[in-house]
Structure 1
Amino acid sequence: MIDMRPVAYVIGRILIVLAILMMAPALVDLGDRQVNGLRFLESALITGLTGACVVLSTRNALRGALSLKQAYLLTVGIWALLPLFGALPFYIGAPHLAFSDAYFEAVSGITTTGATVIFGLDQLPAGMNLWRGMLNWLGGLGIAFIAMIFLPLMRVGGMQFFRTEGFDTFGKALPRARDIARELARVYVILTALCICAYGLIGMTALDAVVNGAATIATGGFSPSDISFEKYSGAGEYVGTVFMLLGSLPYVRYLQMLRGDARPFWQDEQARAYLRWLCGAVVMVTVWQHFHAGMPWEPAFRQSLFNLTSIMSSTGFFSGTFASWGGFMLIVAFLVGMVGACSGSSAAGLSVFRVQIALAALRAHLAQITRPNTVALVKYGGRRVENDVLNGLILFFTGYIVILGVLTVAMSLTGVDTLSSLFAVWTSLGNVGYGFGPLVLRTGTFIDFPQAAIAIMTLAMLLGRLGLLAIMVILLPSFWRR
């Protein structure tokens, strides 16, 4: 059997950190003389005591390096168990959600999905909206940073953790995972600070700037307002677009740029394809909105740019007429949401990197058919893509499509209409955050979904954030054998 104690020890330490972080929204609400501040203190106490008990009971467990199996369990444990405690403020305090809804909200935050079951965000205590933004920020790369604090205890250099999360270090821009984590944290904090300042300069309130800034860089999409960025239409949409793009590009390229070499950033095939495909989608939807909906060019371009960037970067903010999109525009939105943004960022979806390799494999196969005597190699970035990578890619694509279909059918059996079911699974599996369909149109949230559908969405969010395979691997009987 696998020794679970080292995994429990690290998760216990992270729970203690999570409890400490709950003090920030507690202080905000107590400063506003909101009783909700006491609810945060209760949540922090429960979380901190649980973490301390786990740490004390397993403190002698880390005597050697974590195995790869333990690293997988740590990854799944972080993303699946931490929301149990992150959900406590939603359950104990305002808005007093049922625990299944509270867990959904916390999973949505930590997986940076941004889907919500809360309607009336503008009336929530300030600390609660701050907590939602903090969950997004922690989920973007923050949870990984917290785990990296304890890498010396793991005695493995940390690369196992990166591998199990599907983290692409792009050739290890830095020699050790701990160094990578430290530099990534610096980039993440700098981008977040710049985004918050930019939002403040265009007129956002302090709370809105902090929550939207944290959610933007994390590509999380939790907004402190029911109308999301419609509240700051115009300059807010343009500024938000810029920072959503920055948050969905490969972070390792920022590290290389900070070290004085900007060439890998500009030459990155994935980033260039991402921007090229996004621009193509924006142009098509802008033209469609102008000629078919009669919308003037500037608002058509602005809303198309903001909303499609939000979808493709898997952020989940929205503005303008986005909720009523249909027909051609909805098809474009569905496709860019499926593709997603760049590997090595906080974005989700299939990822541009995987789609590029799939297209390269398709071209090579077609060339082999038309010219049987030639050897058509699959290449990416001038290098040959090995067969094991292609096999893994095929497995991932197949799993993604199959899970999308199976969960959509399962959700429709709960009584949700077909369109709402399809886009609910799409938004959850791709960690996009915003759905379409009759059940979403009324409030822009998933508050009208039955509990069984909420459970399916919760599972889909975890599968999407963990790249599908991590959860599947630990379900195999062979995983638990020595």
Structure 2
Amino acid sequence: MVDLRPVAYVIGRILIVLAILMLAPGVIDWRAGLDNGAAFAASAAITGVIGGALTLSTGNALGKSLDTRQAYLLTASIWTLVPLFGALPFYIGAPGLSLLHAYFEAVSGITTTGATVIYGLDDLPIGMNLWRGMLNWLGGLGIAFIAMIFLPLMRIGGMQFFRTEGFDTFGKALPRATDIARQLLVVYFGLTVTCIAVYSAIGMTALDAVVNGLATIATGGFSPSDESFNKYIGAGEYFGALFMILGSLPYIRYVQLVNGSARPLWQDSQARAYLLWLGFAVVVIWVWRVLTTGAPLEPTFRETLFNLTSIMSSSGFFSGTFPTWGGLMLVVAFVIGVIGACSGSSAAGLSVFRVQLVAAVLKREIRRIGSPSSVDPIRYDGRSVEEDVLNALILFVSSYILILGIMSVALTLFGVDTVSALFAVWTTLGNVGYGFGPLVERTGTFVDFPPGAIAIMTLCMILGRLGLLAVLVLVLPSFWRR
């Protein structure tokens, strides 16, 4: 059987940290004279007691390393159990929010999806909006850790390509996972503080600057306003796009940059491809809008840059009248949302890395039609890609497309129209955060979706981070046997 103690110990420590962090928005609400502080106090008490019990009862697991099966369990627990406790302030403190909707909100925050079932964000207590931003920020940090440390070990979606001896992750960055984690935290915190400072300098209120800053670097998209970035048209859009891009590049490259090595960032093929593909999409939609509507150049470029960056980085912020741009925009948005940004960041989607390798496999198979006996290895960033990596990659992409189709059909069984269903699965599975379709138009949120659809979308957000294959592995009897 799998030894659950190391997993329970780590989850217990995470819950203790979560409980402590819950006190911050509670104190803010209490000082503001709001009753909602009690909701955070109660949530912190419940979370802290359970986290402490898990930690104390499994303390003998301290220092034990995780094997592959335990890595699977820990990752699955982070995406499923931790949001359950993160949902407590919403369930206790947000009026009229069911446990399912509260869990959806917390999962959306921790997976950095940014989709919401809360309408009237401007009227929420300060602490509640701050908690939403904190969930985004914590989720983004956790995703970066998992992407660099656990996914290569778990061999999910070809990520084992980034695993070599001695935790030589994403090239020669640092020799040990603890060093990676520590310096990643410094980089992540530094980017966040810089983003918040810039947002404050361009005129955002303290609450907006902090919450938007936390969510931007995490590519999370939780805003303290129903208007998102429409409150800060102009400089807010340019700086928002800049920091969303910074948050969706491989974090390990920043660690290398801090350690005096800038070359890996400039030579990273997926980072270059990401910026190139995003730039191409922005130019196409910008020119198309100007030519077809006569829209002014600079405002149209700014709005296009911000919204397409938000989609491809899987952030979920919006500005302007984005949903009314027409059919070409929807097609481009759908494609770049599926592609996503860079592996090793908090962004989601298939990732540029995987799309690049899929394209390389397709080109190789086309060449083999004319020369079946040729030996044609695939290389990425100067390294040969092994066949097991390519097989895992193809399985991941295939399962992603399969989930997209099956879950879209499942939503229609609950009475959701086809357009709303397709884009609801697209945005939750890809952790994009945007919503399109008749059910979203009234509020710009997912509050009008039936409970069954909300449950499916919650599962999609988790699958978008964990992957179908990882879930299937967990339910196999052989997984639990030695």
- TM-score, normalised on structure 2? 0.95
How far residue 469 of structure 1 moved from its aligned partner, in angstroms, is 2.8
How far residue 62 of structure 1 moved from its aligned partner, in angstroms, is 4.2
Cα distance between partner residues in 2 of 1:159 and 1:105: 26
Cα distance between partner residues in 1 of 2:402 and 2:325: 26
Do structure 1's residue 52 and structure 2's residue 42 form an aligned pair?
Answer: no
Residue equivalent to 1:73: 73
8 Å contact 1:429–1:464 — kept in the other structure?
A: yes
Residue equivalent to 2:402: 402
Residue equivalent to 2:17: 17
Q: Could you tell me which amino acid in structure 2 is paired with residue 359 of structure 1? A: A
How far residue 26 of structure 1 moved from its aligned partner, in angstroms, is 0.5
Change (3 A) 1:294 1:98: same
* CA offsets 1:9-68 (integer angstroms, 9 cap, x no match): 221121111000001100110111000011111111111111112222222344743322
Cα distance between partner residues in 2 of 1:134 and 1:468: 27
Cα distance between partner residues in 1 of 2:384 and 2:338: 26
Residue equivalent to 1:246: 246
The more displaced of 196-205 and 250-259 is 250-259
What's the secondary structure of 2:431's corresponding residue? Answer: coil
% identical equivalent positions: 68
How far residue 163 of structure 1 moved from its aligned partner, in angstroms, is 2.9
8 Å contact 1:323–1:444 — kept in the other structure?
A: no
* CA offsets 1:311-357 (integer angstroms, 9 cap, x no match): 00000000101122331110000000000000010001000000001
How far residue 441 of structure 1 moved from its aligned partner, in angstroms, is 1.0
Residue equivalent to 1:155: none
Q: Could you tell me which amino acid in structure 1 is paired with residue 390 of structure 2? A: L
Change (3 A) 1:128 1:206: same
Change (3 A) 1:31 1:260: same
How far residue 467 of structure 1 moved from its aligned partner, in angstroms, is 3.5
What's the secondary structure of 1:388's corresponding residue? Answer: helix
Cα distance between partner residues in 1 of 2:207 and 2:382: 47
What's the secondary structure of 1:226's corresponding residue? Answer: coil
8 Å contact 1:250–1:271 — kept in the other structure?
A: yes
* CA offsets 1:428-465 (integer angstroms, 9 cap, x no match): 11100011100011111000000000000000000111
* CA offsets 1:341-375 (integer angstroms, 9 cap, x no match): 00010001000000001111111111121334543
1:60-99 alignment runs, 5 A limit:
60-62=60-62, 64-99=64-99
What's the secondary structure of 2:219's corresponding residue? Answer: coil
Do structure 1's residue 163 and structure 2's residue 147 form an aligned pair?
Answer: no
8 Å contact 1:75–1:165 — kept in the other structure?
A: no
Change (3 A) 1:465 1:209: same
1:361-440 alignment runs, 5 A limit:
361-372=361-372, 374-440=374-440
1:20-419 alignment runs, 5 A limit:
20-62=20-62, 64-142=64-142, 159-160=149-150, 163-164=153-154, 168=162, 169-372=169-372, 374-419=374-419
Cα distance between partner residues in 1 of 2:345 and 2:380: 19
Number of residues of Structure 1 aligned to a counterpart in Structure 2: 472
Q: Could you tell me which amino acid in structure 2 is paired with residue 338 of structure 1? A: V
How far residue 376 of structure 1 moved from its aligned partner, in angstroms, is 2.5
8 Å contact 1:95–1:124 — kept in the other structure?
A: no
What's the secondary structure of 2:60's corresponding residue? Answer: coil
Cα distance between partner residues in 1 of 2:291 and 2:95: 43
Cα distance between partner residues in 2 of 1:324 and 1:164: 42
What's the secondary structure of 2:59's corresponding residue? Answer: coil
Do structure 1's residue 454 and structure 2's residue 454 form an aligned pair?
Answer: yes
How far residue 4 of structure 1 moved from its aligned partner, in angstroms, is 1.7
Q: Could you tell me which amino acid in structure 2 is paired with residue 320 of structure 1? A: G
Residue equivalent to 2:166: none
8 Å contact 2:414–2:452 — kept in the other structure?
A: yes
Flag structure 2 segments of 5+ consecutive residues without an equivalent.
163-168
Residue equivalent to 2:165: none
How far residue 378 of structure 1 moved from its aligned partner, in angstroms, is 1.7
Cα distance between partner residues in 1 of 2:472 and 2:121: 35
Q: Could you tell me which amino acid in structure 2 is paired with residue 333 of structure 1? A: A
The more displaced of 88-97 and 183-192 is 88-97
Cα distance between partner residues in 2 of 1:283 and 1:242: 16
Q: Could you tell me which amino acid in structure 1 is paired with residue 108 of structure 2? A: S
What's the secondary structure of 1:448's corresponding residue? Answer: coil
